[in-house]
Structure 1
């Protein structure tokens, strides 16, 4: 599909200006790409949502839990592998995010994860990637999530640097209202950063991975401890988290969007 080289929104191959960010499009400036799935660190902007990254645990065609047929490995995030799969019951494509091995041995962490996923399911907002369910197969736990056709903000910023001002303002507003919807539902993100924000095929910001960073409090494992570069001082020093912690991280994300640094 044809994408704007600035904001990754879908555009007509003959367009002279992106309708989303208003970036002028000289002849040959657009390109056809498939962009990565939800909330992962993909190898680069050419990684496809249906592509397979070498080294995945499950090969395409594998049916998990009698319900999810694996299409391919989207990538490997901070916690584990993320797969594109087809929900055979509903006939829809979903993302399966696997959690670290050994989680089933920690009852407190697993109980907290179930609580957070229940809360995350309450967030029904256009600027938030939907969380569907939590499951287990072969002793491995996974979370099923909405599959976003888009590129994560971290990848986008690495590729183009600073966003055009109008587009940065637009995405900032969407991220803010999405985060507010989560806080209104009583859930914190705890690890808000560009790689956990998708820019979908319509050029809209979608926050992902709500509820997953919360395991830090139970596991003590660094993989759940958030990202130091985006942590508020009280979170970094004492592990204290609140809505203010998310707002601190939000400010850093917005700074990157407007400055490219």
Structure 2
């Protein structure tokens, strides 16, 4: 694993470069609508096809502020804010060592366009709330929760607060491995000037009311909301339900020991205890007492234990079958020994 990670890191570092702006425009067919793969308050994301030196092509994602021309002052201000977010994202990602749990940064063009790895399998939000296919298995859900916890732990070790952790910002690569993305709001804890509170309603820590309150606990709260989403399959905010907030709905049920109502029965018996542990961890993450929230390292360790539990239990039938066979063999040997042994004789059955 160490060797693989080293090679991956080396390759990523080689690709962190400044691209030619016009080549990126060409790579997206002039920002063709047919190449648009994502959009929001952050701007637009396009699928791009880069021509490499050895005549190979590489599919990447190219992020840009909104390209819609407008002369209104409000639109110009919005575009300026998008540019600031994009420049901040470039600065943050370029400062980070590589991680298998964070979207890989490949480079930029004049800090006006950003190039990152292409993630073809959409977002966690789409997987949980939009996809018409079968929901992810309980084991896959735990694995997703673990990978994102590791991403948050990695960022916090680097002194980075993401500030916008949500299911829409968790993307899946071609192997369905989740990665944390969208660092437009990310902040360095070491910076003397703290940014104004920001985030997404439903995921935003209610304790984060002023710049001075910025800490790792802000991300932990948002992660807790995502964890509740993963286990329950319910949206962070759903105005068709009461209460609309997943936190306001789930935490009382967790405190009352009604975890089955949150995860639809909890899946198979193997995962009942695991889901209860995950829900208790989620409740700690979204606690109104910010000081009592666990660190990302604690969360990671707990989920590793949760993941080990089902895997161990899953393999029990095989071991039970093995031991049952051993017991039966010993009984057969004993009966055979009794059958073949005459009074005063000793019979050795191997």
Give the Cα–Cα distance (whole angstroms) in 1 for the partners of residues 103 and 206 of structure 2.
27
Match of 2:49 among 73, 86, 105: 86
Within 5 Å, which residues of 2 pair with 1:30-49?
none
Higher relative contact order by CA 8 Å / sep ≥ 6: 1 or 2?
1
Return the match for 2:171 from 192, 195, 198: 198
| Aligned partner of residue 22 in structure 2, secondary structure | coil
Change (3 A) 1:104 1:169: closer
Q: Which runs of 5+ in 1 are unaligned?
A: 1-62
Q: Give the structure 2 partner of residue 56 of structure 1.
A: none
Give distance in 1, aligned partners of 2:139 and 2:58.
Answer: 34
User: Do the aligned partners of 1:96 and 1:144 also contact (CA within 8 Å) in 2?
Assistant: yes
2:115 corresponds to: 144
Name which of 43, 58, 62 aligns with 1:96: 62
Structure 2: segments with no counterpart, 5+ residues: 1-18, 30-34, 68-75, 188-192, 235-350
CA offsets 1:175-213 (integer angstroms, 9 cap, x no match): 111121122222221101001001222121111112x12
Residues 1:155 and 1:168: Cα distance change in structure 2 (over 3 Å): same
| Counterpart position of 1:66 | 22
Query: What is the match of residue 10 of structure 1?
Result: none
Measure how far apart 1:257 and its partner are. Answer: 0.4
Considering only aligned residues, what root-mean-square deviation do their CA atoms show, in Å? 3.3
Q: Which moved more, 1:152-161 or 1:163-172?
A: 152-161
Q: TM-score, normalised by structure 2?
A: 0.47
Structure with the higher fraction of residues in helix conformation: 2
Task: Give the CA deviation at 1:93.
Answer: 2.0
Secondary structure of the residue that 1:233 maps to in structure 2?
Answer: coil
Q: 1:252 aligns with which of 225, 233, 251?
A: 225
Tell me, in whole angstroms, the C-alpha distance in 2 between the residues paired with 1:114 and 1:176: 26
Structure with greater proportional strand content: 1
Decide whether the 8 Å contact of 2:89 with 2:182 is kept in 1. Answer: no
Residue 82 (structure 1) shift: 1.0
Select which of 192, 199, 203 maps to 1:230.
203
2:64·2:86 contact (CA, 8 Å) conserved in 1? no
Contact 1:136/1:142 (8 A) holds in 2: yes
**d(CA) in 1 for partners of 2:47, 2:156:** 28
**Structure 2 residue matching 1:195: 3-state secondary structure:** helix
Secondary structure of residue in 2 paired with 1:92: strand
Give 1:100 shift. 4.4
- By how many angstroms is 1:135 displaced? 2.9
Q: Which moved more, 1:65-74 or 1:168-177?
A: 65-74
Q: Distance in 1 between matches of 2:89 and 2:172?
A: 24
Contact 1:119–1:185 at 8 Å: present in 2 too? no
User: What is residue 11 of structure 2 aligned with on the other side?
Assistant: none
Contact kept in structure 2, 1:178 and 1:206, CA below 8 Å: yes
Offset, 1:131? 2.0
Superimposed CA distance per residue, residues 152-184 of structure 1 (whole angstroms, 9 cap, x where no aligned partner): 000000126864221111111111111211222
Distance 1:145 1:124, change over 3 A: same
